[in-house]
């Protein structure tokens, strides 16, 4: 037999449990967002900080994405800048060479469709949208070779758009760089 | 239920909903557009306003850097997929006259047996681009370079329009029995070789990529080898060199034989 | 009280027919790109198939389910015939014709741009026109839901809107607004180019517009499933809904925060500022809230049903649940998939973790597990529950139904778990084939093979589903009685006006959209130099 007061009591209990669960859920969400902020600051991993534009029609005519300027370049501060473009259906340079344990800035854009690049075995992953420059600070731990596929559908030849990244020992890299202004591992 | 007013501060739901939503929006704005950018040393943010602009996505100029100039001429043609797809009759007529001097090698109807490219029915953008590259020295050929040197831009447009207008003549080497080799159908993905037809017109077209059917096998082979060695380098941003240098000699032969036998 | 049964049945049948065709394509795609197939084929067929599969499964199938289920809910909860039946048929016709108009160029290979459009690639204009027709057809449904609710409220000023109807209308408003993003993209950016009026397009802006639709569309797909959780499941297992108010709050949260979060699809894009990416990331976190609330309410409702049946113990009550009941089974399997899929989703929503799996096979695995798994299995359940009421015939092949549901669940797990794994290894999505002989990707061979097996299991389950429906259509006539939704244990005497109307929540939805999307869109609109040449696809020879 349930009485009027029993029912009210039940309702109050139900509401209380529900409120506790809702509070817990809000805490969970708060922790998740807090974690994102913490990692963003502590590991300085946030999305690209600036928006930059580039005209995909004229990449090959002027500016930093002309053919002879692509590849790895040594900077005055000891870091390395890698410039690359994505086009139907290859990245240029087709084989990127970088030193290990060195800050590397990857600057890339697309000459036609939307492309993307990811380097297998690393967390490096970005979109290349025609009209805009993607810039990514990266660092490779150990020497080795990684596949670098295009990760966004860019046309019928998309499945054939695989490049390579060779990470070499820093001294070896400096030796290779000595005689060249721009470096790639395309033979 | 209807007598209760919704949009009034006396309604606790209204106040709470707007307050909480607005609060979260404001807090996430402060965190995302001010705090986080300022906390990142790499960004070199100069102040709050700079932080907001940068995080909001106001475009900035590319950082200055010295650009390594090429030690060889590269193509200066700007290609788009709709360029030269609407030819006019006057241009075609002028092109017909101008093209008479091309007939020795390319045939009076744009088709010849002389191992030079068959131009009849070729995409106008392709012929135009190659003429331009010959003229500019991005592509070099003892016969073609002097011809192109004297042409005006309009001449090149007209000749391209004329050849695009001519019907493709089926080659006398057509061999419908010849199965497409694997390198043509699927390429070799891990070597960065897409299917040829993804650009060259069997499956889809890419601006500036020629129609290959019925071209001389000798010519196709020579061009692939020239791309592979880098002696030909007028393909914009290495798009064809990237592919050719990955191909084996046998694959180049297969491709050349296959396309020579196609319509 | 279902009156316009033919209207509702037509929606469900067309939806499932489209689903069946797209399922076959999906299974074929899984096979051709797996190590079981020697990849000597034209890759264009693969992309053509992906375009058809995605467009059918993303735009047509769930839209028709939401529409048909929405009409059923309207008549069953408001206890009167639908107002605007002719308009409803017109909407149905628009969706049906639109689907055909879109699929003709796709099947001819003239629009292999995938269902996410990917400008600056531009396909045949009829593909986009067809998609717009589907959306416009569904907007008629949105309007009808709103009109029917308004008329009922005018006639019943003192009664709370029934929960199922409240949720249904919430879903329709969410869809009405979220579809605007893709509609703007198609009408103002893509179609002028496809029709040859312009030759350039801002690919970055187009992606921002699409993200406006792309994420909230998932919640539109999800709403019928959640309606089934809240208003079918407790009744079907002989229990009651734990809480009416919390259910309303969950649906309201979807309306408010499902929209301003789409930019989390663009974390890796260069055209949106990091600050707005962060704001969208925060709201993406909030959208887990209604799901967490739902899981609690549904599990609590299940416990109530179990205890009424004599279940006891802290966890022992789980055994006393009516597992023979297909709705019970479907809901449980759905929640398991929602749990795994949701955990994956939490990874996707944070920028730092997203970078490891962005655009890999992980993402494909994620949304197949959530949509194909958790959501679609409840669409099956809704059909099983509604069918006897629509056809007036008995539907009692419970064993077959359970087999079908189990196969779907197993198939989904076998398909998507390996996908998640190879995604972590870095396998990019949407490629027609992979050279498994290459040492760089040979470690992925076994997993991809497994997922193709999963595809086959899903196909088998799909066939069984049609067997059940067709048998149901041919069974003996029997009266299933009035169609009812679950009632809460404590029926609130009064419901605050905020939980009984949408004005406040729609204002917040639009307001948040303006706050979170206003600047990124306005800025790209102003930026003229980022209009890039279109690439016309399918224009061979």
pLDDT over 70, % of chain C:
99
Question: At a CB cut-off of 8 Å and minimum separation 6, what does C459 contact?
Answer: C23, C24, C27, C411
What is the reported pLDDT for A4? 57
What is the reported pLDDT for B202? 83
Neighbours of A166 (CB within 10 A): 16
Question: At a CB cut-off of 8 Å and minimum separation 6, what does C75 contact?
Answer: C1, C2, C3, C4, C81, C82
Residues forming beta bridges with residue A149, ordered by sequence position: A162
Residue of C295, C166, C287 whose CA lies nearest to C229: C295
**CB-CB under 8 Å, B203 with C539:** no
Q: Measured between CB atoms, does A6 come within 8 Å of chain C?
A: no
What is the reported pLDDT for B46? 85
pLDDT over 90, % of chain C:
87
Domain spans of chain A, in order of start = 1-46, 67-177
Q: List chain B residues with CB under 8 Å of A57.
A: 78-80
Weakly modelled stretches of chain A, pLDDT under 70: 1-7, 44
**Which tens digits make up the pLDDT trace of C50-105?**
999 999 999 999 999 999 999 999 999 999 999 999 999 999 999 999 999 999 99
Q: How many CB pairs under 8 A join A and C?
A: 196
Q: Residue B98: phi, psi to the nearest 5?
A: -60, -30
Q: HSE on the CB side for C470, CA within 13 Å?
A: 7
Question: At a CB cut-off of 8 Å and minimum separation 6, what does C428 contact?
Answer: A116, A118, A149, A150, A151, C359, C360, C361
pLDDT-derived band at B1, boundaries 50, 70, 90:
very low
What is the reported pLDDT for A1? 42
CB–CB of C7/C85 below 8 Å? yes
Q: Which pair of structure tokens corresponds to residue B167?
A: 């019907």
pLDDT at B57 over 60: yes
DSSP letter (8 states) at residue C82: P
CA distance A53 to chain B (A): 7
**Which tens digits make up the pLDDT trace of C417-444?**
999 999 999 999 999 999 999 998 999 9
Neighbours of C320 (CB within 10 A): 17
Q: Pairing between strand A125-128 and A115-118?
A: antiparallel
pLDDT at C248 over 90: yes
**Which tens digits make up the pLDDT trace of B139-169?**
999 999 999 999 999 999 999 999 999 998 7
Q: List chain C residues with CB under 8 Å of B185.
A: 40-42
Residue C494 or residue B28, greater confidence: B28
Q: Three-state SS string across chain B, please? A: CCCCCCCCCCCHHHHHHHHHHHHHHHHHHHHHHHHHHHCCHHHCCCCHHHHHHHHHCCEECCCCCCCCCCCCCCCCCCCCCCCCCCCCHHHHHHHHHHHHHHHHHHCCCCCCCCCCCCCCCCCHHHHHHHHHHHHHCCCCCCCHHHHHHCCCHHHHHHHHHHHHHCCCCCCCCCCCCCCCCHHHHCCEHHHCECCCHHHHCCCCECCCCCCCCCCCHHHHHHHHHHHHHCCCCCCHHHCCHHHHCCCCHHHHHHHHHHHHCCC
Please give the CATH superfamily to which domain A67-177 belongs.
Answer: Cupredoxins -  blue copper proteins (2.60.40.420)
Residue C116 or residue C350, greater confidence: C116
Q: Which of B184, B201, B239, B247 to mutate to test the interface with A (most CBs of A within 10 A)?
A: B239
Q: List chain C residues with CB under 8 Å of A18.
A: 242-243, 246, 296-297
Domain spans of chain B, in order of start = 12-59, 89-165, 182-260
**Window B:98-137, CB contacts with A under 8 Å:** none
pLDDT at C408 over 60: yes
**Which tens digits make up the pLDDT trace of A172-184?**
999 999 988 999 9
Q: For each of the domains in chain C, give its residue range(s) and CATH number, in order of start.
A: 5-536 (1.20.210.10)
Q: Pairing between strand A104-110 and A134-138?
A: antiparallel
Q: Which pair of structure tokens corresponds to residue B86?
A: 């609407």
Please spell the DSSP secondary structure of C321-375, one letter per residue: S-TTSHHHHHHHHHHHHHHHHHHHHHHHHSHHHHHHHTTBHHHHHHHIIIIIIII
Q: Measured between CB atoms, does C193 come within 8 Å of chain B?
A: no
Q: List chain A residues with CB under 8 Å of C425.
A: 120
Q: Fold identical between B89-165 and B182-260?
A: yes
For A85, which residue in chain B has the nearest alpha carbon?
B237
Q: Which CATH architecture has domain B89-165?
A: Orthogonal Bundle (1.10)
**Which tens digits make up the pLDDT trace of C354-400?**
888 999 999 999 999 999 999 999 999 999 999 999 999 998 889 99
Residue of A103, A107, A105 whose CA lies nearest to A86: A107
Residues forming beta bridges with residue C303, ordered by sequence position: none
pLDDT at B3 over 70: no
Multiple choice CATH, B182-260, 1.10.760.10, 1.20.140.10, 3.30.70.20, 3.10.129.10: 1.10.760.10
Q: Measured between CB atoms, does B17 come within 8 Å of chain C?
A: yes
What is the reported pLDDT for A5? 65
**Which tens digits make up the pLDDT trace of C288-305?**
999 999 999 999 999 999
**CB-CB under 8 Å, C256 with B201:** no
Q: HSE on the CB side for C341, CA within 13 Å?
A: 27
Neighbours of A155 (CB within 10 A): 28
d(CA B124, CA B161): 5
Residues forming beta bridges with residue C241, ordered by sequence position: C488
CA distance A170 to chain B (A): 22
d(CA B105, CA C519): 59
Residue A3: is it exposed, middle or buried by C-beta count within 10 angstroms (0-12/13-18/19+)?
Answer: exposed
């Amino acid at each position: 037999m349930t009485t009027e007061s029993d029912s009210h009591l039940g309702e109050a209990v139900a509401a209380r449990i529900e409120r506790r669960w809702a509070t817990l859920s809000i805490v969970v969400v708060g922790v998740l967002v807090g974690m994102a902020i913490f990692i963003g600051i502590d590991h300085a991993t946030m999305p690209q900080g600036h928006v930059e534009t580039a005209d995909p029609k004229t990449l090959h005519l002027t500016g930093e994405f002309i053919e002879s300027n692509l590849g790895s370049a040594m900077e005055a501060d000891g870091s390395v800048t890698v410039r690359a473009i994505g086009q139907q259906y290859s990245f240029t340079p087709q084989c990127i060479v970088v030193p290990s344990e060195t800050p590397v800035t990857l600057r890339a854009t697309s000459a036609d469709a939307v492309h993307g690049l990811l380097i297998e075995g690393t967390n490096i992953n970005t979109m290349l949208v025609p009209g805009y420059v993607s810039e990514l600070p990266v660092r490779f731990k150990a020497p080795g070779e990684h596949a670098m596929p295009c990760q966004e559908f860019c046309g019928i030849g998309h499945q054939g758009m695989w490049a390579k990244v060779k990470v070499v020992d820093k001294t070896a890299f400096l030796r290779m760089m000595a005689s060249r202004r721009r470096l790639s591992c395309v033979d | 239920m209807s007598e209760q007013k919704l949009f009034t501060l006396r309604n606790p739901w209204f106040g709470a909903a707007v307050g909480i939503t607005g609060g979260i929006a404001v807090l996430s704005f402060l965190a995302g557009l001010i705090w986080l950018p300022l906390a990142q040393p790499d960004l070199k943010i100069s102040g709050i306003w700079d932080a907001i602009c940068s995080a909001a996505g106001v475009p900035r100029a590319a950082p200055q850097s010295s650009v390594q100039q090429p030690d060889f001429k590269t193509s200066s043609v700007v290609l788009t997929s709709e360029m030269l797809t609407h030819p006019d009759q006057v241009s075609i007529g002028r092109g017909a006259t101008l093209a008479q001097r091309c007939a020795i090698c390319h045939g009076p109807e744009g088709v010849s047996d002389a191992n030079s490219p068959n131009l009849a029915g070729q995409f106008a953008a392709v012929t135009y681009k190659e003429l331009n590259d010959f003229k500019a020295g991005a592509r070099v050929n003892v016969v073609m370079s002097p011809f192109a040197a004297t042409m005006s831009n309009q001449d090149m447009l007209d000749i391209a329009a004329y050849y695009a207008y001519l019907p493709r003549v089926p080659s006398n080497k057509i061999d419908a029995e010849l199965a497409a080799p694997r390198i043509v159908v699927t390429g070799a993905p891990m070597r960065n070789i897409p299917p040829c037809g993804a650009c060259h017109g069997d499956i889809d077209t890419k601006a500036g990529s020629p129609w290959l059917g019925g071209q001389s096998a000798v010519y196709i082979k020579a061009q692939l080898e020239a791309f592979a060695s880098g002696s030909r380098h007028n393909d914009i941003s290495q798009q064809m060199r990237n592919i050719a240098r990955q191909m084996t000699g046998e694959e180049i032969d297969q491709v050349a034989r296959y396309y020579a036998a196609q319509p | 009280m279902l009156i316009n049964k033919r209207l509702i049945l037509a929606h469900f049948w067309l939806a499932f027919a489209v689903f069946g065709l797209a399922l076959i394509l999906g299974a074929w795609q899984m096979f051709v790109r797996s190590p079981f197939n020697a990849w000597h084929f034209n890759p264009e067929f693969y992309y053509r198939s992906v375009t058809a599969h995605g467009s059918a499964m993303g735009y047509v199938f769930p839209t028709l389910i939401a529409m048909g289920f929405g009409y059923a809910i309207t008549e069953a909860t408001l206890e009167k015939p639908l107002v605007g039946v002719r308009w409803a048929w017109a909407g149905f016709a628009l969706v049906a014709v639109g689907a055909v108009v879109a699929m003709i160029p796709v099947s001819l290979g003239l629009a292999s741009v995938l269902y996410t459009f990917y400008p600056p690639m531009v396909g045949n204009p009829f593909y986009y026109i067809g998609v717009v027709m589907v959306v416009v057809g569904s907007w008629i449904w949105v309007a009808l839901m709103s009109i029917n609710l308004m008329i009922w409220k005018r006639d019943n000023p003192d009664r709370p809107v029934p929960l199922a109807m409240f949720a249904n209308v919430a879903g329709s408003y969410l869809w009405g607004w979220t579809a605007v993003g893709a509609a703007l993209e198609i009408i103002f950016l893509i179609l002028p180019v496809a029709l040859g009026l312009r030759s350039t397009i801002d690919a970055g802006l187009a992606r921002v517009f699409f993200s406006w639709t792309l994420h909230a569309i998932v919640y539109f797909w999800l709403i019928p499933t959640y309606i089934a959780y809240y208003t079918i499941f407790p009744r079907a297992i002989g229990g009651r809904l734990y809480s009416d108010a919390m259910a309303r709050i969950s649906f309201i949260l979807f309306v408010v925060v499902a929209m301003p979060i789409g930019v989390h699809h663009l974390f890796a894009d260069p055209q949106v500022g990091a600050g707005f990416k962060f704001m969208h990331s925060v709201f993406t976190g909030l959208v887990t809230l209604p799901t967490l609330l739902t899981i609690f309410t549904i599990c609590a409702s299940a416990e109530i049903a179990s205890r009424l049946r004599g279940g006891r113990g802290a966890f022992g009550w789980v055994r006393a649940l009516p597992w023979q009941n297909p709705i019970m089974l479907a809901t449980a399997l759905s929640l398991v998939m929602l749990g795994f899929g949701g955990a994956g989703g939490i990874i996707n929503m944070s920028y730092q973790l997203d970078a490891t799996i962005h655009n890999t096979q992980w993402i494909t695995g994620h949304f197949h597990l959530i949509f194909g798994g958790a959501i679609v299995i409840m669409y099956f359940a809704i059909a099983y529950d509604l069918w006897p009421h629509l056809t007036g015939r008995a539907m009692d092949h419970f064993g077959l139904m359970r087999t079908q549901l189990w196969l779907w669940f197993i198939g989904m797990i076998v398909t998507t778990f390996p996908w998640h794994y190879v995604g972590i290894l870095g396998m990019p999505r949407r490629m027609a084939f992979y050279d498994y002989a290459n040492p760089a990707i040979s470690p992925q061979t076994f997993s991809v093979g497994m997922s193709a097996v999963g595809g086959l299991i899903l196909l088998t389950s799909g066939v069984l589903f049609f067997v059940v429906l067709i048998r149901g259509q041919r069974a003996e006539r029997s009266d299933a009685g009035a169609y009812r939704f679950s009632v809460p244990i404590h029926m609130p005497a009064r419901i605050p006006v905020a939980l009984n109307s949408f004005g406040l929540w729609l204002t917040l939805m639009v307001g948040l959209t303006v706050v979170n999307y206003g600047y990124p869109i306005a800025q790209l609109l102003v930026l003229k130099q980022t209009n890039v040449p279109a690439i016309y696809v399918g224009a061979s020879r």
